[in-house]
Amino acid sequence: MVLDMFKLDGKVAIVTGANTGLGQGMCVGLAEAGAKVVGVARRSCDETAALIKEINGEFTAVIADLSSTEVIDDIISQTLKAYGRIDILVNNAGIIKREDAINYTMADWDAVYAVNQKEVFFLSQAVAKQLIKQGEGGKIINVASMLSYQGGIRVPAYTASKSAILGLTRALANEWAKYNIQVNAIAPGYMATNNTEQLRNDENRSTEILDRIPAGRWGTPADMQGTVVWLASKASDYVNGFTVAVDGGWLAR
User: Catalytic residues, which ones?
Assistant: 158
| More confident call, 202 vs 145 | 145
Mean per-residue pLDDT, 51-78: 98
In this prediction, residues 142-147 reach a mean pLDDT of: 97
Judge whether residue 195 has pLDDT over 80: no
Answer whether residue 12 shows pLDDT above 80: yes
Residue 41 pLDDT greater than 90, yes or no: yes
Q: What percent of the chain has pLDDT over 90?
A: 93
Mean pLDDT for all residues in the chain: 97
Q: Average pLDDT in the 222-251 region?
A: 98
Q: Is the pLDDT of residue 198 over 90?
A: no
Residue range 74-86: mean pLDDT, rounded? 98
Read off the pLDDT of residues 83-119 as tens digits, 9 standing for 90 and up.
999 999 999 999 999 999 999 999 999 999 999 999 9
User: pTM score, two decimals?
Assistant: 0.97
What number is the average pLDDT over the span 23-39? 98
Through-space distance between the first and last CA atoms of the chain, rounded to whole angstroms = 36
pLDDT score at 196: 82
Q: Provide mean pLDDT across the span 134-146.
A: 98
Of residues 198 and 56, which shows the higher confidence score? 56
196 vs 79: which has the higher pLDDT: 79
